[in-house]
Every structure is written in structure tokens, then in C-alpha cells.
Amino acid sequence: MIAVSLVKLPHGEGLPLPSYATSQSAGVDLMAAIKDPILLKPLERKLIPTGISLALPEGYEAQIRPRSGLALKHGLTVLNSPGTIDADYRGEIQVILINLGTEDFLIERGLRIAQLILSPISTLCWEEVDHHQDFAHNDRQGGFGSTGLRNIV
């Protein structure tokens, strides 16, 4: 377990802390910390506050991901998924929700709108070269869709 400092903001008062739904859940559920319900029409997006601020340990990030039930049943998803919360960010965690469904969706206070995953990060350093040594043996140059659509049997 990794300790993460959390500040509950005034509009988050009365809501429970983000928690794991089951003992094997990978992420904690984030809730809408809103006073009044928000109607999200099809293809509309809104920034939804969660009422919390975090201080992540150095070397970690938090990822904001959609909840599968909201995606399947209502077409609701996190627009920039996964959203990244850097270790040095101290502002409120907010979620960009978009309604990709065909019907209006009502977001009410306390609705579990997304999940947050804590993840270690790796830092890279560039090693500039003239060419990749294995490039001559690699046919993967075509980019998007270069491997085709059919299964190889």
C-alpha cells in the first residue's frame, strides 16, 4: 500500500472518500461533487469536479479512467482517457465526461463517474542515433493499420 495525501474540498464535504468497490479492484471510484444535478446531452462534454485534491508521491501518477458500466449502459466515458494526474499537481481532480450515448444523462451528487488508478512512472532519456540497428529486419513501417484486419491462420 502507498500512502497518498488527500484534501477534501468544501464542496466535497459529506461525500465518502474514494474507495475500492471490491478487494481486488484496481482503481478507486471518483464521485461527482456537485451541488445541483448536471444534464449531459448526447455528444456534450462537461468538466465534473470530484471535491478532492491529492499529493501523489514522487515517481507516481494517477490515471483517470472511465467506468465500464456507465460506458456500456449509457455511452458515458472520460474524454481524455486515461487522464494523467502528475505527482506535482495539487489542484482539484476533475473529470471530463462526454455522453456518446443517444439519450440525455443526469449526473447527480455522489454519482461514481470515473475511476482513479495509481501507477508508477518511468523516466526516459533520449539516445539519438542515425538509425535503429534492427530496422532492416523490421517490416513494421506502415503505421496505422499496417498489419491488416484479418487474423493470420
The per-residue pLDDT for range 25-76, each reduced to its tens digit, is 999 999 999 999 999 999 999 999 999 999 999 999 999 999 999 999 999 9
Taking a C-beta distance cutoff of 8 angstroms, is the pair 33, 112 a contact? Answer: no
Compare 151 and 137 and report the one with higher pLDDT: 151
**11 CB-near residues (< 8 Å, 6+ apart):** 33, 34, 35, 49, 51
pLDDT of residue 82: 93
Which residues on adjacent β-strands are paired with residue 115?
A: 29, 65
pLDDT of residue 153: 64
Q: Strands 28-31 and 112-120: what pairing?
A: antiparallel
Q: What is the pLDDT of residues 87-129, one digit of tens each?
A: 999 999 999 999 999 999 999 999 999 999 999 999 999 999 9
Architecture of domain 5-122: Distorted Sandwich (2.70)
Collapsed DSSP state (helix, strand, coil) of residue 90: coil
pLDDT band (50, 70, 90) for residue 140: low
Q: What is the pTM of this model?
A: 0.85
Evaluate if residue 145 carries a pLDDT over 90: no
pLDDT of residue 150: 73
